[in-house]
Amino acid sequence: MDGNRKKCVLIHPMTKVKGVLGTLINKRGLISPNFPWRQYMNLKIKVKYFDDELIRLNKLEIGDWIDIRAAESVDLSYGEFKLIPLGIAIDLPEGYEAHVVPRSSTFKKWGIIETNSMGIIDESYKGDNDQWFFPAYALRRTTIEKNDRICQFRIVEKMPEVEIEEVEHLGNRDRNGHGSTGRN
């Protein structure tokens, strides 16, 4: 092993998912950051649908995002804003949040943008009436049909608790400000 890396030891198996999963602990008793957790981890989410005709969520084999569909047909004029209902409520696991963004084809097909760039849905928004919405702003006249795939989401771990400390100096080298990583 590389001299800079800590030696890790398999302590005990925890569960069987795609083989035996174990906890890797380094010499200092810390969980190894190099263990490939994602390949062994499956999250179960509960989904409530607000409409029986809505096509159900489906995790595609390729990619990390799950497509979401419009729960109703919507006509929008240029410059019009509308919260488009997505027809779902989800019980996210504790410690996780959902990031909702437009699909790459959403603007091309319908000329709409998500007004807040990315929607964040935390684990507390999980009641029976906590339906998800897509905040759309139309840049041309458009019609979105019920069951059109207009956005997508992924589930990510929430930021850990942080403590904020005010300092006079950060003690790091300056990079010369915003946009300074390269030259054209």
Instruction: Band the pLDDT of 28: cuts 50, 70, 90.
Output: low
Whether residue 132 has pLDDT greater than 80: yes
Whether residue 10 has pLDDT greater than 70: no
Torsions phi, psi of 61, nearest 5?
A: -65, -30
Catalytic site includes residue 67: no
Exposure class string for 132-144: b at 16+ Cβ within 10 A, else e? bbbbbbbeeebeb
Selecting among 51, 64, 75, 122, the annotated active-site residue is 122
- pLDDT tens, position by position, 59-98: 777 788 999 999 999 999 999 999 999 999 999 999 999 9
Q: What is the pLDDT of residue 15?
A: 35
Q: What is the pLDDT of residue 37?
A: 57
